[in-house]
């Protein structure tokens, strides 16, 4: 009598999903998780700054490092002052010069960006930026001065976070205290002391207009304070200031 044949045992399970290629999914998952963690960090930091003043921004640290390469003892100049101790002249001048629609847009002025793109295309070089005050603040708080599509995309995300969590006055207050006005000079109070030996609260209309015009290239104008363009543009901003809405 022949012995019954034993049925073959099922192959043992390895317990690994996807076998040797299981690691492939992590190549995609880990970068996504990292990006989400970074966005959460930005969000929580902005949420904290709704009622707490920032210390040194990313851009300040970068510029201080540049200065310390030449002079290890170099420090940036910045003194925080509350919104009501900054001259309305400066507030009007900066909005007139940098972002006329600041009180109306939701962080990005797409029309201004389109105009800047068309102007740069005509000139075949970058002569206009189109960034709003909120976009500039996003860059100064967290990002470097480098230019890339990735950095610009991150700037837009942070911009909308700022607009979602803060009102316009708080955004503008932080901006006025951290924006670069010259080599190692940040914020309205330090700029007023550096250029005019006065406080940010005491700036005249003419002084405020000139400071606002310096913003696109502050380190250059710190060294060249009496160019024909600076004088001409200052007169233009003076003429526009009274029509500006201040938050």
Asked if residue 57 belongs to a domain, the reply is no
Domain ranges, residue 237: 77-243
pLDDT by residue for the chain (247 residues), tens only, comes to 555 555 555 555 555 555 566 666 766 777 778 888 889 999 999 999 999 999 899 999 999 999 999 999 999 999 999 999 999 999 999 999 999 899 888 888 777 777 766 666 666 655 456 689 999 999 999 986 666 677 788 889 999 999 999 999 999 999 999 999 999 999 999 999 999 999 999 999 999 999 999 999 999 999 999 999 999 999 999 999 999 989 9
Asked if residue 167 belongs to a domain, the reply is yes
Q: What share of the chain is helix, strand, coil (3-state, %, to 5)?
A: 60, 0, 35
What is the torsion angle, in degrees rounded to the nearest 10, for the CA atoms of residue 225, residue 229, residue 234 and residue 240?
Answer: -160
Asked if residue 9 belongs to a domain, the reply is no
185 CB-contact burial (10 Å; exposed 0-12 / middle 13-18 / buried 19+) = buried
pLDDT value, residue 129: 61
Pairing of strands 180-182, 185-186: antiparallel
What span, in angstroms and rounded, lies between the C-alpha atoms of 149 and 156?
11
Instruction: For residue 180, list its beta bridge partners.
Output: 186
In this structure, is the dihedral angle defined by the CA atoms of residues 122, 128, 131 and 133, taken in order, positive or negative? negative
pLDDT value, residue 116: 64
pLDDT value, residue 122: 64
Asked if residue 236 belongs to a domain, the reply is yes
What is the torsion angle, in degrees rounded to the nearest 10, for the CA atoms of residue 196, residue 198, residue 203 and residue 206?
Answer: -20
Of 115, 150, 148, nearest in space to 131 by CA: 115
Check which CATH number belongs to the domain holding 156 and give it. Answer: 1.10.3810.10
What span, in angstroms and rounded, lies between the C-alpha atoms of 176 and 186?
9
Q: Which helix (H) or strand (E) holds 186?
A: strand 185-186
Q: How many domains does the chain contain in total?
A: 1
Asked if residue 172 belongs to a domain, the reply is yes
Asked if residue 2 belongs to a domain, the reply is no
Q: Give alpha helix (H) positions in 50-187.
A: 58-70, 88-98, 110-123, 133-142, 149-165, 168-178
Residues 6 or more apart in contact with residue 130 via CB below 8 angstroms:
109, 112, 113, 114, 115, 116, 117
Asked if residue 5 belongs to a domain, the reply is no
Of 218, 234, 225, nearest in space to 77 by CA: 218
What span, in angstroms and rounded, lies between the C-alpha atoms of 144 and 58?
7
Of 198, 241, 207, 239, nearest in space to 225 by CA: 207
pLDDT value, residue 5: 56
pTM of the full structure? 0.84
Asked if residue 133 belongs to a domain, the reply is yes
Contact 85, 201 (CB under 8 A): yes
């Amino acid at each position: 009598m022949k012995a019954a044949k034993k049925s073959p045992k099922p192959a043992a399970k390895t317990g690994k999903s996807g076998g040797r290629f299981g690691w492939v999914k992590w190549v995609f998952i880990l970068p996504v998780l990292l990006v989400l963690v970074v966005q959460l960090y930005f969000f929580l930091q902005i949420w904290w700054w709704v009622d707490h003043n920032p210390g040194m921004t990313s851009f300040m640290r970068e510029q201080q490092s540049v200065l310390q390469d030449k002079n290890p003892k170099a420090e940036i100049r910045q003194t925080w002052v509350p919104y009501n101790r900054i001259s309305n002249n400066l507030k009007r001048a900066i909005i007139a010069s940098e972002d006329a629609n600041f009180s109306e847009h939701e962080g990005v002025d797409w029309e201004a960006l389109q105009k800047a793109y068309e102007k740069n295309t005509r000139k075949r070089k970058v002569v206009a930026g189109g960034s709003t005050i909120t976009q500039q603040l996003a860059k100064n708080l967290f990002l470097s001065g480098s230019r890339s599509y990735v950095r610009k995309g991150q700037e837009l995300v942070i911009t909308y976070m700022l607009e979602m969590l803060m009102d316009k006055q708080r955004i503008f207050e932080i901006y006025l205290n951290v924006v670069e006005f010259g080599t190692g000079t940040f914020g309205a109070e330090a700029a007023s002391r550096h250029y005019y030996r006065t406080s940010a609260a005491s700036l005249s209309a003419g002084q405020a207009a000139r400071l606002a015009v310096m913003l696109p290239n502050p380190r250059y104008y710190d060294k060249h304070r009496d160019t024909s363009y600076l004088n001409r543009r200052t007169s233009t901003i003076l003429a526009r200031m009274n029509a500006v809405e201040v938050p």
